[in-house]
Amino acid sequence: MSFKPASWPRKLRSQEWFGGTGRDQIYHRGWMKNQGFPHDMFDGRPVIGVLNTWSELTPCNAHLRDLAERVKNGVYEAGGFPVEVPVFSAAESSFRPTAMMFRNLAAMAVEEAMRGQPMDGAVLLVGCDKTTPSLLMGAASTDLPSIVVTGGPMLNGYFRGERVGSGTHLWKFSEAVKAGEMSADDFLEAEASMSRSPGSCNTMGTASTMASMAEALGMALSGNAAIPAVDSRRRMMAQLSGRRIVEMVKDDLKPSDILTKPAFENAIRTNGAIGGSTNAVIHLLAIAGRVGVDLTLDDWDRCGRDIATIVNLMPSGAYLMEEFFYAGGLPVVLKHLCEAGLLYKDALTVSGAPIWDEVREAVNHNPDVILPVDRALTQQGGIAVLKGNLAPNGAVIKPSAASPHLLKHRGRAVVFDDIDHYKARIGDDALDVDETCVLVLKNCGPRGYPGMAEVGNMGLPPKVLKKGVTDMVRISDARMSGTAYGTVILHTSPEAATGGPLAVVRDGDMIEIDVEARRLHLDISEAELAARLAEWSPPPDQPESGYAWLHQTYVQGADTGADLDFLRGCRGAPVGRDSH
């Protein structure tokens, strides 16, 4: 791919606000000068929005104000004018009903913050799960030059000498308490060991996955994803990115130049190699939808098939992001994939160079963390897309997080109509369930929950856990935390709340899964399935106003990225009429 720089200097869009001696320009500059900015900041240099998802209620991003200062230093050094702008921060750990319901709202807010204000490019300061895709989606829809800087992962957690992975050990400890193998007091003591520094989840959960996806897509500088939040090199990365965005504006290097179909295919293959989160499926589909790239679930299955998972990180493996960084980080993985002929080496990155140029010198410093292919965690990494009468539009499973003996299974359905039904029934010793059953959870999709909560890895019944069983087949239209594990089939589409076949599964039905054959089958006749679907009616209690109504009315299925239908597409960044 060749990239031709635009002629420079040229008039930038920010000059519509700040350039000239008219009343409107004096108005815009005058207000800005109340912050003490000297006049030459408005002389036609690139104005860079430092879009900051800092929030004390997004603890994973709570250190981003410090990083923003480093970004600004870099922007100034390169001759730009940085302006820090707070944007919607969809916190994974505390937003209810689920942060995912607000990803699209955040993306919409970011898009309009970029389009409606005087900026020529943006640094996307992100970290926590939904913050990365939401800002990428918004930036993609404006197509203004943009670069991702993530906040970086937390340092390793340790409890009594053992590594504690964000999320992963929360699930493990919680199940151990239910099984009577861990005391409630020990669980409380472990809490303090889980998050011992600033930063995002330290496992290969969704935050680390999306940081890796941003880098694999070419939207972040090489090496960005794995640098720990508190490492001095994280600050350097922020400063270098600040310098780089100014050059990107001068070169008019836009998201649409970088976010091409080959870039998405590179990211999908990378996701297989790192054992990345199933959430990446939904987010990449949504980002692709913003730039008009025709990416589908079938692309996920095709590109991810037979990619060896070589990054030995929890939840699939043993280590954490800190060790991934010391081992060389994502550039080592990208170099391996390039050398194996699995990536488009000439895919453009924010540096202006192709991805191969960025990673060709990478060195693996720890082959226990970044494994050779013959010692891979699995040769069939990636995300498998299952189809059948239970999921005509597809469902996904992460085989590397599943139990091999359950990847082909036939079992009796134990059905929960929604999350409240599940919570009410799962602990009941009278529940007719054993480890051969298939747990089915309905009405937790994009519309049903609403927002598609991460409840797909529903905990096992205590009576099964007490037998020492740690995994069962679970099927739902929900998502799963990237830090979770198990034989968990997710994103079943169409979802139950829109009348997908999941809605009509009943207790006692037999369900067959065959991951190798990519099959998910409800073993009832076509006539029976049709009769049940004809009887189906939508669940009650739909919201009648507010954002929840907007979300439920316009959200699309998980199989296309769960974006709001009117937000798909690139609308560019035309400068609107001045209001004064």
Shortest Å distance, C-beta 443 to ligand FES = 24
- Residue 3: CA count within 13 A, CB half-sphere: 20
> b/e map of 333-347 (b: 16 or more CB within 10 Å)?
bbbbbbeeebbbbeb
98 belongs to the binding site for ligand FES (CB under 6 A): no
C-alpha gyration radius of the chain: 24
> What's the rounded Cα separation, in Å, for the pair 473 and 487?
5
Q: Using CB under 6 A, which of 12, 48, 50, 60 touches ligand FES? A: 60
50 belongs to the binding site for ligand FES (CB under 6 A): no
Measured CA to CA in angstroms, residue 463 lies from 170, 216, 474, 507 at distances of: 20, 43, 16, 18
Residue 563 contacts residue 104 (beta carbons within 8 Å): yes
Residue 153 contacts residue 300 (beta carbons within 8 Å): no
Q: Using CB under 6 A, which of 73, 93, 197, 366 touches ligand FES? A: 93
Shortest Å distance, C-beta 101 to ligand FES = 15
Shortest Å distance, C-beta 150 to ligand FES = 10
Shortest Å distance, C-beta 154 to ligand FES = 9
Shortest Å distance, C-beta 99 to ligand FES = 8
Shortest Å distance, C-beta 271 to ligand FES = 17
> What's the rounded Cα separation, in Å, for the pair 550 and 258?
31
Stretch that binds ligand FES, among 199-207, 399-407, 461-469, 553-561 (CB under 6 A): 199-207
Stretch that binds ligand FES, among 38-46, 157-165, 197-205, 266-274 (CB under 6 A): 197-205
Residue 313 contacts residue 204 (beta carbons within 8 Å): yes
Stretch that binds ligand FES, among 104-112, 198-206, 263-271, 442-450 (CB under 6 A): 198-206
For every residue of 365-427, DSSP letters joined together read: S-TTTB--GGG-SBSS-S-EEEEETTEEEEEEE-GGGS-GGGSEEEEEEEEESSHHHHHHHTT
DSSP 461: P
201 belongs to the binding site for ligand FES (CB under 6 A): yes
Shortest Å distance, C-beta 93 to ligand FES = 4
Q: Using CB under 6 A, which of 145, 205, 275, 557 touches ligand FES? A: 205
DSSP three-state, residue 496 = helix
Shortest Å distance, C-beta 91 to ligand FES = 7
Q: Using CB under 6 A, which of 195, 200, 224, 560 touches ligand FES? A: 200
Residue 413 contacts residue 508 (beta carbons within 8 Å): yes
482 or 557: CB nearest ligand FES: 482
Q: Tell me how many residues contact ligand FES (CB under 6 A).
A: 10
**Residues 6+ away with beta carbon under 8 Å from 7:** none
Site for ligand FES in 164-183 (CB under 6 A): 166
55 or 270: CB nearest ligand FES: 55
* Helix boundaries (H) for 254-378: 255-258, 261-274, 279-291, 297-304, 321-327, 330-339, 355-359
Shortest Å distance, C-beta 128 to ligand FES = 3
Q: Using CB under 6 A, which of 47, 140, 204, 207 touches ligand FES? A: 207
**Residues 6+ away with beta carbon under 8 Å from 292:** 569, 570
Shortest Å distance, C-beta 201 to ligand FES = 3
For strand 473-476 and strand 488-493, is the pairing parallel, antiparallel, or unpaired?
parallel
Q: From the centroid of its chain, how far is CA 156?
A: 21
60 or 488: CB nearest ligand FES: 60
DSSP three-state, residue 211 = helix
Site for ligand FES in 224-253 (CB under 6 A): none
Stretch that binds ligand FES, among 75-83, 200-208, 429-437, 519-527 (CB under 6 A): 200-208
Site for ligand FES in 122-151 (CB under 6 A): 128-129
Shortest Å distance, C-beta 559 to ligand FES = 25
Site for ligand FES in 466-505 (CB under 6 A): none
Find the helix or strand (DSSP H, E) in which 30 lies. Answer: helix 23-33
User: Under the rule (CB under 6 A), what is the footprint of ligand FES?
Assistant: 60, 92-93, 128-129, 166, 200-201, 205, 207
